[in-house]
Amino acid sequence: MFVHTVFFWLKHPESQDDHKALRAGLDSLKSITDISVAYVGTPAETRRPVIDHSYDFSLTLVFADKAAHDAYQVHPGHLAFVDTCAHLWERVKIYDAVS
């Protein structure tokens, strides 16, 4: 299993239009067949010193293996998402894990 977790910080977090646009873009990724499981979320209302809740959206994708992840990276749907939505974020942080 290959888990790809991405955190997004919006350039304009106060903009509801930007929130809606990024959410729609993230949701569009769910149709890519290389993905086994997809979760789109926002920070939970948990407040402890070890929790970073500074991001605006998170994306967690589970793939069967690294090959499926690699296919996703060049998939036209993923590339279209980046082209359409990259102007919305100021920062992206990615964590990949294997099991």
Q: How far apart are CA 40 and CA 61, in angstroms?
A: 9
Position 79 scores a pLDDT of 98
DSSP 3-state assignment of 92?
A: strand
Q: How far apart are CA 79 and CA 85, in angstroms?
A: 10
For the chain, which residues score pLDDT lower than 50? Answer: none
Position 72 scores a pLDDT of 98
Position 82 scores a pLDDT of 98
Q: Looking at the domain that runs over 2-43+55-98, which CATH code has it been given?
A: 3.30.70.100
Whole-model pTM: value is 0.94
Position 61 scores a pLDDT of 98
